[in-house]
């Protein structure tokens, strides 16, 4: 994908699914790392921003056009669309069961958290319009209580909502002021939340009570230098889960493999499959597969996606393009 940035790649069943800056969704064979025109769904959005796994070999995508789409990976067909309108560009996305949540860019002095029920898509189930004062960059559902929704924003707040409550003031059950723009936030466990800011400050917060309780306690905070180069957040989360919160330190997370790449500065989003293969993708428009060489920590490149010959569309310059993907650096 020459000249095209790959935003995200996900393993879906036995295939890989990616979204990229040419607004396309591709279904890729993880063994050959090849695809064809029939494996590509182009013009998915006007400015695609998000990709999440859903159900039954389906994925959800969102874009700056204010639309959430469900796509069947097998048939490469759109299943449904949820529209909030172009006045609400979408920057974050999460799902759990029938609930789908999206977060918007700040527009007209409002940054929204919108929740739909996939069984009734004609209008949103809930909208939280006052809880954030800037772009909503992260959303996550509680791992065991899906009615509890987390949101993070560039206003520095991490909020917890009870989505069974319609009134926004009552639904907002906990707020954590991280103090700087949120890059990542999620539930570390049933009783812990973590947050990572764009200036690389990381904190873990202990939910002493259930998600409906009143207490959220800052366990510890530290600066993670160049944390944006550690890889995909779900991979980092596995190391974070080994953190000793009493001693305020991380357990040793032994490397599975190590490698040197000529485009290391552009690599992002590793994923590990059951075959112990890590897939990387990045701003060079390539997807690569890596696997250990027997014993030790070395790795070898299996395959890489060849650049496509056809030209990609060029995005116009301007404020909208600069904000098409949130770039804190």
The full DSSP string for 68-85 is EEEEETTTTEEEEEEE--
Specify the pTM: 0.76
d(CA 152, CA 166): 20
Q: How many CA atoms lie within 13 A of 271 on its CB side?
A: 19
- The sheet carrying 217-223 orders its strands as 182-189, 192-197, 201-206, 217-223
Q: Return per-residue pLDDT of the chain as tens, 329 residues.
A: 557 888 888 888 788 899 999 999 998 888 888 887 778 888 889 999 999 999 878 999 999 999 999 999 888 888 889 987 667 899 999 999 999 999 999 999 999 999 999 998 888 999 999 999 999 999 999 999 999 999 999 999 999 999 999 999 999 999 999 999 999 999 988 888 999 999 888 888 888 554 444 334 444 445 444 344 334 444 445 455 545 555 445 554 444 444 444 443 334 444 444 567 778 787 888 888 877 664 334 333 334 444 444 344 444 444 554 444 544 43
Indicate the SS3 state at residue 266.
helix
CA distance linking residue 323 with residue 315, whole number of Å: 12
Give the bridge partners for 132, in sequence order: 111
């Amino acid at each position: 994908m020459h000249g095209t940035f790959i935003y995200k790649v996900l393993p879906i069943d036995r295939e890989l699914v990616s979204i990229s800056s040419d607004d396309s969704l591709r279904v890729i064979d993880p063994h050959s790392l090849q695809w064809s025109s029939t494996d590509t769904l182009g013009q998915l959005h006007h400015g695609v921003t998000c990709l999440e796994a859903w159900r039954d070999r389906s994925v959800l995508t969102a874009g700056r056009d204010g639309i959430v789409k469900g796509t069947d990976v097998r048939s490469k067909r759109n299943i449904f669309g949820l529209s909030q309108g172009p006045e609400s560009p979408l920057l974050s996305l999460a799902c759990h069961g029938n609930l789908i949540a999206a977060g918007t860019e700040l527009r007209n002095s409002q940054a929204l958290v919108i929740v739909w029920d996939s069984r009734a898509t004609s209008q949103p189930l809930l909208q939280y319009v006052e809880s954030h004062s800037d772009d909503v960059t992260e959303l996550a559902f509680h791992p065991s209580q899906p009615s509890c929704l987390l949101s993070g924003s560039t206003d520095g707040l991490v909020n917890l909502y009870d989505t069974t409550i319609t009134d926004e003031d009552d639904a907002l059950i906990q707020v954590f002021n991280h103090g700087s723009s949120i890059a990542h936030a999620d539930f570390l466990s049933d009783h812990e939340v973590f947050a990572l800011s764009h200036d690389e400050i990381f904190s873990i917060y202990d939910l002493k009570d259930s998600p409906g309780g009143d207490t959220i306690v800052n366990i510890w905070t530290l600066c993670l230098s160049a944390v944006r180069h550690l890889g995909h957040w779900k991979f980092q989360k596995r190391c974070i889960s080994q953190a000793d919160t009493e001693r305020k330190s991380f357990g040793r997370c032994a490397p599975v493999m190590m490698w040197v790449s000529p485009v290391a500065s552009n690599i992002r989003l590793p994923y590990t499959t059951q075959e112990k293969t890590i897939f990387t993708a990045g701003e060079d428009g390539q997807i690569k597969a890596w696997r250990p060489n027997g014993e030790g920590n070395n790795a070898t490149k299996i395959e890489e996606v060849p650049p496509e010959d056809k030209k990609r569309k060029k995005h116009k310059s301007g404020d909208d393009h600069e904000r098409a993907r949130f770039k804190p650096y």
